[in-house]
Structure 1
Amino acid sequence: MTILKNRLFWPVAILVALLIVNVFTSNQFITLQDGHLFGTLIDILRGSAPLILVALGMTLVISTGGIDLSVGSVMAISGAVACLLIKDLGDQNAVGSVLLIVGVAIVVSAALGLWNGSLVAVVGIQPIIATLILMVAGRGLAQLVTDGQIINVQSSPYATIATGFFLTLPVAFLIAMAAVVLISVLTRRTALGLLLESVGGSPSASRLAGIRAKRIIVMVYVVSGAFAGLAGLIYSANIKSADSIAAGNLIELDAILAVVIGGTALIGGRFSILGTVIGAILIQTLQVTVVGIGVPSKATLLFKAVVVVVLCLSQSATFREKVFGRFKIRTGVPA
């Protein structure tokens, strides 16, 4: 069947299966209280917001044939800068001041993305090495900003970014969806998507065709940095503090996994925004499901790895053909 050949069929199928499991294992899957939606489903959507943002930026970077390992450190720096500035406010509940600080943190994050993009496109350093530099140094920079301490804040407007609701839905998830819509429009309704695929598919050919590949590469790293910074704000707003060690720890691996699950080619040239969103939500759902069904904490990572391996194998057309092809031959059905 044609639908079975769609690369997104299996991620969606497994996502639906995990959600069904949560329906039976959670006390409240979804309910309406005080005009807001609550329950396991809402927790999944809210918890997936930072990963969606990071994976969205990662998708653009990978589409050009690059990689960004520094997103976790950028998250830590963004949260550290925001909480440090908010702590020094005379009134931490001043909406205008908090919004200005949020803007400053995102600009700082975009500047870090510019640093990555410049190393890759201008200096010519391999993306994995260029971003590894900031991955290591950025975590140290975040600890310098916080002086190695956890900075706590008591700002209601800032907390709203992560825990607030609008139109019954979590603000964090709505922010992520707004970013998804923006990138989808820019990449599918303009020539930008074609340019990204051209640069990722063949950088040399794109340059010969007159495409300014260096500018595009720098741009995607800037966007990746800005989205990682926004994810860092959501993370720190959720815990009302800046934790430079835990913030964004290993999120780059989940982001890359979400991108791959969504059908984006790691070698560049082909990407799927919708697939990335599905991949990010699937990963978050898997983490919630593991807790819901009572998997021991020691076996959590192993259980997650098994599910991911099954998913990746199910997406492989070659694997399905070998397995099901042999089955058809043994049962006497023409392959």
Structure 2
Amino acid sequence: MTSQPARATPAGGPGKRLTGHRLLWPSLTLLALLLGNLAFTHDFFAVRVRNGHLYGSLIDIMQFGAPLILVALGMTLVIATRGIDLSVGSTVAIAGALACQYIATSSSPGSVGTVLTAVALALGVALVLGLANGLLVSRLGVQPIVATLILMVAGRGVAQLITDGQIITVSSGPYKMIGGGHLLMFPFAVLLAAAVVALTSLLTRRSALGMLIESVGGNPTASRLAGIRAAGLLTLVYVFSAVCAAVAGLMISSNVSSADGNNAGLWIELDAILAVVIGGTALTGGRFSLGGTVLGALIIQTLSTTVYTLGVPPETTLVFKAVVVIVVCLVQSPAFRSKVLRRRGTAPPRPTTPAGEVLPHQEARA
């Protein structure tokens, strides 16, 4: 009888695989923030039913975090292609301004048809803006940060031109439904954001689209040689990012029944980038995590809630958020964790062969 070769075992046990999972640290961070709020507010986890609607701090975090989830979702696909979209904040302002301006000047602002037309107008303009960004990057070779910076600056001015520098208020029940309404007891904004996330996940993970996006961002040269039409994919992700930002703008303006071209969506692009990074997607492109992005957006929104819960002075709010984000990013960094382990006297695991044999130092360095 001939002896069978030993079966190769994967390096690292279940614990190692668990600590290396990209969603572990964002999940633990979100849990820690929620528990921290519970320590200061004993009914923080309480969810009540009032007038047939769900209310509570957790519901508020999801409702107010829905616009950021959408913006970060579009940003994730853009970053996966080694790009960046700094114009999402301006797109948020333009979409809200267009919709509110149309409804306010309409003869029947409470009509469902008027609201649907306003929404279609906002989404159509956002599609054109995203197409412009995509063409600048994919066809004309403009750097993504420069191409989107143009719209970031000009778009804010366009939003103020639409509103004439004023805050436009609207009184429309159907429009209020988008950001402040409820459906089946849940906030409609949460259900809408969940539907967009589910559809995006289905298209990118159950088809070749996600793999193509990752290949373009991971190795543009190899993807081009493989026959992938990178220009079309780049344009697509920028259009998707703009449309997601427009929906977020509709949510924000709907929730407050007004449009402010100067402040709507201000700096939301930075929160979206932070959410993507916290979620485990690298700014260098390639692999992305939609689930991590959702967790990152919820962390950012929970941070804002924590600021009010802990009574952090307003002038130190941004510093507080920055410190928490830095800590989260450091904890997620394998290089940082390995250095901490070395200082505590625990040597990092030695590299092994597929059969489980430890490599000598010379081979390890090679």
Which residue in 1 is equivalent to 2:290?
273
1:245 counterpart letter in structure 2: N
Larger Rg: 2
CA RMSD in angstroms comes to 1.6
Out of 22, 40, 64, the residue aligned to residue 37 of structure 2 is 22
Task: Verify: 1:35 aligned to 2:52, yes or no.
Answer: yes
Once residues 21 and 10 of structure 1 are traced to their aligned partners in structure 2, the CA distance between those partners, rounded to angstroms, is 16
1:19-168 equivalent positions in 2, closer than 5 A:
19-26=34-41, 28-29=43-44, 30-168=47-185
The offset of 1:329, in angstroms, is 4.7
1:303 counterpart letter in structure 2: F
Output one character per residue of 1:92-146: Cα deviation in whole Å (capped at 9) or x when no partner.
1111220121121011111100010010011110000000000000001111111
Q: Is the 8 A contact 1:328 1:334 kept in 2?
A: no
Once residues 27 and 140 of structure 1 are traced to their aligned partners in structure 2, the CA distance between those partners, rounded to angstroms, is 45
Once residues 102 and 137 of structure 2 are traced to their aligned partners in structure 1, the CA distance between those partners, rounded to angstroms, is 31
**Segments of 4+ moved more than 4 angstroms:** none
The offset of 1:24, in angstroms, is 3.6
2:128 counterpart letter in structure 1: A
Once residues 128 and 88 of structure 2 are traced to their aligned partners in structure 1, the CA distance between those partners, rounded to angstroms, is 13
Once residues 199 and 252 of structure 2 are traced to their aligned partners in structure 1, the CA distance between those partners, rounded to angstroms, is 21
Once residues 83 and 112 of structure 1 are traced to their aligned partners in structure 2, the CA distance between those partners, rounded to angstroms, is 19
Task: Using structure 2 for the length normalisation, give the TM-score.
Answer: 0.88
1:239-258 equivalent positions in 2, closer than 5 A:
239-258=256-275
Once residues 230 and 114 of structure 1 are traced to their aligned partners in structure 2, the CA distance between those partners, rounded to angstroms, is 16
Once residues 122 and 42 of structure 2 are traced to their aligned partners in structure 1, the CA distance between those partners, rounded to angstroms, is 38
With over 3 angstroms needed to count, the CA separation of the structure-2 counterparts of 1:34 and 1:207, relative to structure 1, is same
Out of 27, 38, 42, the residue aligned to residue 12 of structure 1 is 27
Q: Is the 8 A contact 1:150 1:243 kept in 2?
A: yes
- Contiguous gaps of at least 5 residues in structure 2: 1-14, 351-366
Which residue in 2 is equivalent to 1:320?
337
Task: Using structure 1 for the length normalisation, give the TM-score.
Answer: 0.96
Once residues 320 and 334 of structure 1 are traced to their aligned partners in structure 2, the CA distance between those partners, rounded to angstroms, is 12
Which residue in 2 is equivalent to 1:285?
302
Task: Verify: 1:180 aligned to 2:197, yes or no.
Answer: yes
Output one character per residue of 1:7-51: Cα deviation in whole Å (capped at 9) or x when no partner.
221111110111122234337432222221101111100010110
Once residues 154 and 148 of structure 1 are traced to their aligned partners in structure 2, the CA distance between those partners, rounded to angstroms, is 19
3-state secondary structure, aligned to 2:136: helix
1:163-312 equivalent positions in 2, closer than 5 A:
163-312=180-329
- Contiguous gaps of at least 5 residues in structure 1: none
Once residues 226 and 157 of structure 1 are traced to their aligned partners in structure 2, the CA distance between those partners, rounded to angstroms, is 20
